[in-house]
Amino acid sequence: MPAGAYLHLDEELEERFQCAPGPGGWRYTSQRSDGVRVDLVVDARWRQIRLELVTSTWWLRGGVTGPEVAWVRAAGETGTEHTERAAGFISDSPGFLIAVARSLDLDEDAETDVRLVRLSGPSLAPLTATWRWHRAGTSTYETDAAPLPVTRYDVTDLSTGEVEAVHVAGDVVLDAPGIELTALESPPNLLT
């Protein structure tokens, strides 16, 4: 079960995480040094079936319900329900990058557009947008344990045209914009 830490470079925040495959999918949990908590569960097809995201003042719970995502967002005990036609959620936690990349199941050099609900800031403000994911290639690196395949995705924000590279090994993000993997206590699960 991989566990380790990411550094959010812009804010100098540490995100301690654990992730593991389960009987019907995969789970990612983390806690940042500013108190933000993520608990993301996907099913065998990598659909985000359960999400809990908590900041110091807001919380959000949701998941995929067919062609839509549904969620409740609140700053207190009673929340407001929302639905949006989208494939899942995205936020600044690397766990979301893994879930989206795996759910797309792209062949080498293939690309697709995916509509996601982006959750931003301490208020978890939702904004639905479309990104183009391109699987740019996979390189294999020799390690002490076994060869490590690393896949590069070029992710384009279609609203701005900005392209960013994300490097994934199994169920761990090795490199992404504003994210640095600073500690890894066990190797990634090389998911098939």
How do residues 135-185 score in pLDDT, each as one tens digit? 999 999 888 878 889 999 999 999 999 999 999 999 999 999 999 999 999
3 state DSSP class of 67: coil
Query: What is the reported pTM?
Result: 0.95
First to last CA, the chain: 16
Determine the Cα–Cα distance for residues 152 and 131; give it in Å rounded to an integer.
15
Q: What is the pLDDT of residue 88?
A: 97
Q: What is the pLDDT of residue 145?
A: 77
How do residues 119-129 score in pLDDT, each as one tens digit? 999 999 999 99
Determine the Cα–Cα distance for residues 94 and 3; give it in Å rounded to an integer.
13
CB of 44 within 8 A of CB of 53?
Answer: no
